[in-house]
Chain A
Amino acid sequence: MTQPRHSAMLSISNTNPIPIANDKQQPPSTQIQNLASTGLRVPSNRKTIYDRHLNRTRNAELSRAGFAFLFAEMVTYAQRRVTGIQDLERRLNEQGYPLGLRLLDLLYYRTMSSSTSSSLSSSSTSAAPPNRPLRILPLLHLIHGPLWRLLFNRPADALEHSVSPDTPNEYMITDNDPLVNTYISVPKEMSMLNCAAFVAGIIEGVCDGCGFEAKVTAHNQPTEMWPGRTVFLVRFGESVMEREKVLERAGVK
């Protein structure tokens, strides 16, 4: 099951940096011509998205209605030719997965530059915060806090470890009112469906990008107060749990 995922990851990382590498080698004028010939629109001030500082859009906000319509169309697209609810959730998950992989770098960059003023120079010293989570808990805190704030402008509502001794590899992240489900009412005959499977895919991409093989699924757990309450179940793979034990013995935080 993990093999196609990693190949997908490789193909994404192979295809993505090509235009960026070209940009650096060529003078700006030819770069703009290049973009124009591929059909990309260049703004009138000739500043492309690559010329902008990454933190420029840090506090920028997106139209919620615009996102709602886009996401509704994504769900409709995923619904074509599906065999069942699980298939639909898998497709939504696959839409979110590459997003998580790519988002991870931006997340690192922003958490690093916000915690230390000069990001790269001070990260070599020992006092700097760790750049990459090595253990499961720091990873989950990264998802629960910074990732959720980056995506939804607030932290997730709860982070729990499975109480059952049979499944020590299961963790749960709870969102009382997922943004993606705000305007969605699932019909009764599909009551098992949760469209936050898309967000589960993002989490899965972030976990895989960090080197933690995991399967993430979204489940409905409505309460009286929160009818849209969603639990993201994170199941780490065997290899991750083995490494976790080794790291624990070695005292790595």
Chain B
Amino acid sequence: MTVFSLIIINKAGGLIYQREFQPGLRKLSTNDYLVLAGTFHGVHAITRSITPKLPVAAATTTASTPTSSNVPSTPGTPTPITPASTHSFPNPGVPATGLESLETDKFRLTCFQTLTGTKFLLFTDPMMTSIDTVISKIYELYSDYVMKNPFYQLEMPVRCEAFDRHLMGWLRGRT
């Protein structure tokens, strides 16, 4: 149950929060953390765009039920098919998420992206379970103590003492 550290990246790829909870990872300089945040943001965008798509035509022929894609592909009239609509994600309702976790033998990096584009990166022990609970609690604390704080400016570094206090207190209570 080791949570090493937390990084929050804003929607433009800037580092807005970095905190170490337990030692175990090598410390980086502030500049390196900024680079890490920017790099991860880029890699995340790339992984999202290279997410493979399934061809729509194959799906309609194998399973005769019409898929929920917006092109009505009736077999009699061959419609001019645009390249964008020939492929869709396996589950068309869910957009591609991009990189979600990265694992080494020393740590596991879990990325959670909110609907507004903010990314939470959590470095934990690779053996740790129930990371989802930790992430959703962190998101809850963030929306409470950061977003409801009138002195916090959007997209700027998070300096909210109440957020730190509740985050530390909650993580300490778990271990």
Identify which of B14-22, B87-95, B126-134, B160-168 touches chain A.
B160-168
Task: Please tell me if the beta carbons of A75 and B148 are within 8 angstroms of each other in the complex.
Answer: no
Specify which chain B residues have a CB less than 8 angstroms from the CB of A76 in the assembled complex: 150
In the assembled complex, which residues on chain A have CB atoms less than 8 Å from the CB atom of B144?
68, 183
**Distance A183 CA – B165 CA, assembled complex (angstroms):** 12
Say yes or no: A75 contacts B165, CB within 8 Å.
no
Chain A, residue nearest B158 (CB): A185
Find A187's partner among B145, B151, B163 (CB 8 Å cutoff). Answer: B151
Taking a contact as CB atoms closer than 8 A, the residue among A72, A73, A185 that contacts B162 in the complex is: A185
Report Cα–Cα, A65/B149, bound state, in Å: 11
**Choice from A72, A186, A188, A227 contacting B148 with Cβ under 8 Å:** A72
> How distant is the Cα of A187 from the Cα of B148 in the complex, in angstroms?
14
| A184 lies within 8 A of B151 (CB) | yes
A-side contacts of B149, CB under 8 Å: 72, 183-185
Interface size class of B (residues with CB under 8 A): 10 to 19
Those of A174-222 within 8 Å (CB) of chain B: 183-188, 190, 195
Query: Is the Cβ of B150 less than 8 Å from the Cβ of A72?
Result: yes
Among B116-175, those with CB < 8 Å from A are: 144-145, 148-152, 159-163, 165
A79 within 8 Å of B (CB atoms) = yes
Contact B150 A184 (CB under 8 A): yes
Residue-wise interface mask of A (65-104) relative to B, using a CB-CB cutoff of 8 A (1 in contact, 0 not): 1001101110110010000000000000000000000000
| Nearest CB in chain B: distance from A85 CB, A | 12
Question: For the side of the interface on A, what is the size category?
Answer: 10 to 19
Considering the chains assembled together, what is the distance between the CA atoms of A13 and B150 in angstroms? 31
Task: Say yes or no: B159 contacts A187, CB within 8 Å.
Answer: yes
Closest chain A residue, CB of each to CB of B161: A185
Bound CA–CA A10/B161 (angstroms): 42
**Closest chain A CB from B122 CB (angstroms):** 22
User: Smallest distance from the beta carbon of A23 to chain B beta carbons, Å?
Assistant: 37
- On chain A, the residues within 8 Å of B162 by CB distance are 183-185
Residues of B within 8 A of A75 (CB): 150-151
| Bound: A69/B163 CA distance, A | 16
The docked-state distance in angstroms from the alpha carbon of A184 to that of B151 is 8
**Chain B residue contacts of A187, Cβ below 8 A:** 151, 159
Q: Looking across the interface, which residue of chain A has its beta carbon closest to that of B165?
A: A227
**Residues on B with beta carbons closer than 8 Å to the beta carbon of A188:** 159
The 10 closest A-B pairs by CB, nearest first: A183-B148, A75-B150, A185-B160, A72-B150, A68-B148, A185-B162, A185-B161, A76-B150, A187-B151, A185-B149
State the A residues within 8 Å of B (CB): 65, 68-69, 71-73, 75-76, 79, 183-188, 190, 195, 227
| 28 chain-A/chain-B pairs, Cβ below 8 angstroms | A65-B148, A68-B144, A68-B148, A71-B150, A72-B148, A72-B150, A73-B150, A75-B151, A76-B150, A183-B144, A183-B145, A183-B148, A183-B149, A183-B162, A184-B148, A184-B150, A184-B151, A184-B162, A185-B149, A185-B160, A185-B161, A185-B162, A185-B163, A186-B151, A187-B151, A188-B159, A190-B151, A227-B165
Given A183-B148, A185-B159, A187-B151; 17 other pairs, CB 8 A cutoff: A68-B144, A72-B149, A73-B150, A75-B151, A79-B150, A183-B149, A184-B149, A184-B150, A184-B151, A184-B162, A185-B149, A185-B151, A185-B152, A185-B162, A185-B163, A188-B159, A190-B151
